[in-house]
Amino acid sequence: MAILVNYKNRFISLFNETARYHHRLRVFRDFITLAAASIHNGIRFDEMLEQEYRETIRHYEATDADRMAQLLAEVVMGLENEGGDFLGSLFMQLELGDAGRGQFFTPMSVSRMMAEIQMADVEKLLEEKPYITVYEPACGSAGMLLAIAEVIKDKGFNPARCLWVSCTDIDSVASGMAYIQLSLMGIAGEVVTGNALSGERRRIMYTPVHWLENWPMRFKSSLQTSV
């Protein structure tokens, strides 16, 4: 008999035990920083991210540093088994959002409905060219993009090969959540921390699949073909 595991509850239980000497928002923010840097540098090393990782982790006791790694493991398993906007829903469940800044994360059911409408003609689109690109100027934790990838997969296509996303959020916690989830769900693209309205791009992080599926070369080949 299969045992159902609620990974969100497991995350919250472990999170509440982690670094009680820090404010909860700080611990969550630092977790996102550490997790994103670990994922990025596992495939493409960046010295600035490594320095940020070291500066962040030094404020935590050894036991809590270990818990940070365990929290990432819960996210990995949660996304694998439950899918959806795992981190966005956790962020709201933990009541860490800032209502004054409009930080409300769209329920995955709504994102899924919108994605099905937007991707209704995905088969036709992919007949015309080998991949589609999607731009999200205020991505939050990337729930909409995750839903689009789900729809594409359900229609029989491999998102890693036929979907590339570019998403931006002004808040580093939101963009960090987006990077983690897009990376772990095998979606290629860039995650920008900045302001889409002004064109500010403070930090750009490419997901592992962007490199593993050689998207830079695919873009270059497409440009050469279209000339």
Residue 138: burial class (beta carbons within 10 Å; 0-12, 13-18, 19+): middle
Q: Are 145 and 189 found together in one domain?
A: yes
Identify the domain containing residue 24 by its residue range.
7-100
Q: Are 121 and 88 found together in one domain?
A: no
pTM: 0.93
Q: Best-predicted range by mean pLDDT among 26-40, 99-113, 213-227?
A: 26-40
Q: What is the mean pLDDT of the chain?
A: 92
Q: Are 165 and 121 found together in one domain?
A: yes
Q: Give residue-wise pLDDT tens across range 67-84.
A: 999 999 999 999 999 889
Count of H-run helices and E-run strands, the chain: 12, 4
- Domain count within the chain: 2
Is there a domain that residue 1 lies in?
no
Q: Could you tell me the two tokens for 209?
A: 């699949």
Q: Is the pLDDT of residue 169 over 90?
A: yes
Q: Could you tell me the two tokens for 199?
A: 């064109």
% residues pLDDT > 70 (the chain): 93
Is there a domain that residue 131 lies in?
yes
Q: Is the pLDDT of residue 100 over 90?
A: no
Q: Taking a C-beta distance cutoff of 8 angstroms, is the pair 176, 33 a contact?
A: yes
pLDDT category, 39, cuts 50, 70, 90?
very high
Using CA of residue 29, residue 33, residue 36, residue 42, what is the dihedral sign? negative
Q: Is the pLDDT of residue 55 over 90?
A: yes
pLDDT category, 121, cuts 50, 70, 90?
very high
Q: Is the pLDDT of residue 114 over 70?
A: yes
Per-residue pLDDT averaged across 168-193, rounded? 97
Q: Are 34 and 141 found together in one domain?
A: no
Q: Are 121 and 222 found together in one domain?
A: yes
Q: Are 130 and 149 found together in one domain?
A: yes
